Amino acid sequence: MPLTIRDYRSDDAASWLRCRLLSFFETEYYDDVYTQRPTYELPSVQLVADHGGTVVGLLDATVDGVEATIESVAVHPDHARTGIASRLLDAALPRLAGAHTLDAWTRGNEAANGWYLARGFRENHRYLHVYADSGVTDAELEGFTSPGPLSAPLFAFAHARIDDEDEMRRRYRRVHVCRQYLRHLAAPD
């Protein structure tokens, strides 16, 4: 059965969600779960890799003036490392009309970081994602408050400067380096 790269259609929604969920499941982004497919106010490119009517890969990118962002790129684990993400990127690039740069954000997944570097992206910025979540201790939530009549927070997600990484790792069990990758695109003629 051939694989087809094509535009996303509304009837792809359930398959798109399954593909994204399963592709993120074994990464540091395992809890970045969507219960419905996002919509975009900015101009966007929304592509899927279709294998027999099932979405096995996806790439959504938005364009804001001369800057484009990959919002999601994912490949179903049963189809990983078969070139699908690269085919999606290759199909998306000509459609990013007017964009001079394309960026994307990821965490510590070695395969994802390697893929971006091999596709002409360079790390541009990094900061920390810090969680105080399941099994959280009182010390981890110290300083977090909620307005009454709410209880104290049960978990927290926050950003921190990369310069504070050692301190954050001492204090919290779940700390991820979030990396921005940037690729310069050919300026239009």
Report pLDDT digits (tens) over 57-105: 999 999 999 999 999 999 999 999 999 999 999 999 999 989 999 999 9
- DSSP-based three-state secondary structure for 174: strand
Banded model confidence at residue 187, pLDDT cuts 50, 70, 90: low
Q: What is the pLDDT of residue 136?
A: 79
Report pLDDT digits (tens) over 106-163: 999 999 999 999 999 999 999 999 998 877 778 888 888 899 999 888 889 999 999 9
Q: What is the pLDDT of residue 154?
A: 87
Banded model confidence at residue 50, pLDDT cuts 50, 70, 90: very high
Q: What is the pLDDT of residue 186?
A: 79
Q: What is the pLDDT of residue 42?
A: 97
Banded model confidence at residue 188, pLDDT cuts 50, 70, 90: low
Q: Give long-range contacts, CB 8 A cutoff, 24+ apart: 61-65.
A: 61/92, 61/96, 61/102, 63/96, 63/97, 63/98, 63/99, 65/98, 65/99
pTM (predicted TM-score): 0.92
Q: What is the pLDDT of residue 104?
A: 98
What torsion do the CA atoms of 111, 60, 10, 36 make, to the nearest 10 degrees? 70
Euclidean distance between CA atoms 5 and 128, whole angstroms: 34
Which residue type sits at 149? P
Domains of the chain: 1-99 (3.40.630.30)
Which of 183, 28, 160 is closest to 90 using CA atoms? 183
Q: What is the pLDDT of residue 140?
A: 82
Residue 185: CB partners within 8 Å, gap ≥ 6? 68, 93, 96, 99, 100, 101, 102
Banded model confidence at residue 38, pLDDT cuts 50, 70, 90: very high
